[in-house]
Structure 1
């Protein structure tokens, strides 16, 4: 969704901004988000220590 709610949290690092709701923040606590540029394209990779499984591309995970 494209709406910014009053309880959303804005995280800024360098020139990157992430807008997240409080419920979702609990699922990614302790995670690192990396932007990678590879031959097959550019994407964000998430490394989540809470994940019980993840996909091979690093964009989705299960908790």
Structure 2
């Protein structure tokens, strides 16, 4: 295990659009799953998506379905 408890083959990454504001998520690929976690809480909960669910999630993000500001 890596020091943070992740298997050593999991490489977490942040979007190149992330800033130092702290409101970032990190994404990793583990086998046939896509993992997402809060960069401020790397030992907290992790969401796990199948390839089909990941594609659907990204599509909804890109169309603004999850935007919370007016």
More strand by share: 1
TM-score in terms of structure 2 length: 0.32
More helix by share: 2
TM-score in terms of structure 1 length: 0.35
